[in-house]
Amino acid sequence: MHESTIWCERDHVFIIDQTLLPLECKRVEIRTCGEMWEAIRALRVRGAPAIGIAAAFGIWLGIRSSDCVLSGGLIEQIDQCCDYMATARPTAVNLFWAVERIRNLVHGHAGCVPEEIKELVLREAQSMIEEDNAVCLSIGRHGAGLVHDGCRVLTHCNAGGLATARYGTALAPVYYAMEKEGRKVHVYADETRPLLQGARLTAWELKQAGIPVTLICDNMAASVMRRGLIDIVIVGTDRVARNGDFANKIGTYGVAVLAHAHNIPFYAAAPLSSIDLTAADGAAIPIEERDPDEVTRIRGIQIAPDGIDVFNPAFDVTPCDYVTGFITEKGIARPPFDQSIPLLFQQPDFD
């Protein structure tokens, strides 16, 4: 339960290779910046918060063995690593948040010697793990008030511990309600085509945690709602625009429309690092399109005709009108979001 997703042990960086779950839980050492870029691109590490942390460690891996004797040369190498890591995936804003955080850190310490700068980058990456754990626990505490005893929660994709350093965002209120408040909760997990993150990851981690979970196909959500089996929908997010539009795994928009049609509250769990105040609305969020083989094959087995045209966006944008609220580490933001979301950044740091 709550096993780390990414961690550093005696200057060695490890991840759980999520492409192998649920059949194998394999811990893999990442040795270079290029290996971390590939791990992010290939979804070996995934989930917006985890991607940000991984990028920070990737930058450190890229310069830890540098033989630069001048800080200027090392900072130039760090800038190159930052630029490279930023190309791994386009939608999750946490990736760019982490990259710029490292970049700003080293430029602010240009007077330090190279070995000190390397140590600063490593400590900053490690601190992101500690911060993420605190953020997710706070999201869990704020969101637990929405999860009553006997609550039935629908979620889409995986925004649990596997998508963060450890505790998750969308599933954090479930974990908190059960572990801290002693409430009974049942989760319905969409399978989440085409890569089945709900089936492979969410169902796996909830089962590992001993939390009752029912797996459903994506096209069953409407029927399950109509039968009165869902009390609340909680999903994660990869990027929230200033007005409350947000991008999440493909299919989230449809779930939001269904929840609205069935008068079911729909929440997104969003650490402040996933909020992009420079994006006025959802139209400003870049949407990643991925390899057609993800749709036409499952674990290498072909399931569609040869040569078929494929459209494979990894994310969609849910308009703010369908969102009941955003669960953040500083509390729950409610409409009008163009006012409540910016106010979050003016509040004191959370406990």
Are 28 and 69 found together in one domain? yes
Last residue of a domain, one of 114, 136, 158: 136
Please give the C-alpha separations between residue 221 and each of 39, 136, 192, 194, 214, in angstroms, as whole numbers. 31, 26, 11, 16, 12
Nearest to 48 by CA among 106, 78, 91: 91
Within this chain, do residues 210 and 128 fall inside the same structural domain, yes or no?
Answer: no
Same domain membership, residue 176 and residue 268: yes
Which residue pairs, CB below 8 angstroms and at least 24 apart, start in 14-22? 15/39, 15/44, 15/45, 15/54, 16/45, 16/162, 17/44, 18/43, 18/44, 18/45, 18/46, 18/162, 18/200, 18/201, 19/43, 19/44, 21/162, 21/200, 21/201, 21/204, 22/200, 22/201, 22/203, 22/204
Does residue 308 share a domain with residue 163?
yes
Q: Are residues 102 and 145 in the same domain?
A: no
Is the distance from CB of 320 to CB of 279 less than 8 angstroms? no
Q: Is residue 349 part of a domain?
A: no
Judge if 194 and 100 occupy the same domain. no
- Quote the DSSP letter at residue 320: G
Residues 63 and 209 grouped into a single domain? no
As a whole number of angstroms, the distance between CA 100 and CA 119 comes to: 17
Q: How far apart are CA 349 and CA 331, in angstroms?
A: 11
State whether 250 and 297 are in the same domain.
Answer: yes
The domain boundary, picked from 94, 116, 136, lies at 136
Instruction: Return the active site residues.
Output: 238
pLDDT in tens, the chain (351 residues): 467 999 999 999 999 999 999 999 999 999 999 999 999 999 999 999 999 999 999 999 999 999 998 999 999 999 999 999 999 999 999 999 999 999 999 999 999 999 999 999 999 999 999 999 999 999 999 999 999 999 999 999 999 999 999 899 999 999 999 999 999 999 999 999 999 999 999 999 999 999 999 999 999 999 999 999 999 999 999 999 999 999 999 999 999 999 999 999 999 999 999 999 999 999 999 999 999 999 999 999 999 999 999 999 999 999 999 999 999 999 999 999 999 999 999 988 866
CATH classification of the domain holding 336: 3.40.50.10470
Any domain includes 1:
no
Q: Cα separation of 269 and 141, whole Å?
A: 12
CATH code of the domain covering residue 87: 1.20.120.420
Task: Tell whether 264 and 160 lie within a shared domain.
Answer: yes
CB of 238 closer than 8 Å to CB of 92: yes
Residues 6+ apart with CB under 8 A from 167: 2, 133, 136, 137, 140, 161, 175
Residues of the domain holding 263: 137-344
Total count of domains within the chain: 2
| Residue 52 neighbours by CB distance under 10 Å | 27
User: Same structural domain for residues 98 and 233?
Assistant: no
Tokens 């450190």 -> residue: 60
The verdict on 290 and 179 lying in the same domain is: yes
